[in-house]
Amino acid sequence: MCRSIKPLRLPDRPATEQEIQEAALQYVRKVSGYRKPSKTNEEVFQRAVDEVADATRKMLEILSPIKSVD
């Protein structure tokens, strides 16, 4: 995995829908090896992005809040 992946979950606010979608897209791109899928694979690629975004949303809803370390 690439080290340039930024944290999605910040202690001061919940992740936005756009951040969740962008993170899901980045993940699917990394795993599939394709920046943009072929026309043949477009539907499957988008379905994977949607499923990863759904799983991310569910996980963020049940995670305990991050506690600040000051």
Mean pLDDT lowest for which of 8-17, 33-42, 52-61? 8-17
DSSP per residue, 16-48:
PHHHHHHHHHHHHHHHH--SS--GGGHHHHHHH
The Cα-based distances of 41 to 21, 34, 51, 52, 59 in angstroms read 19, 10, 15, 17, 27
Band (13; pLDDT cuts 50, 70, 90): confident
This prediction has a pTM of: 0.79
pLDDT one-digit tens code per residue, 27-56: 999 999 999 999 999 999 999 999 999 999
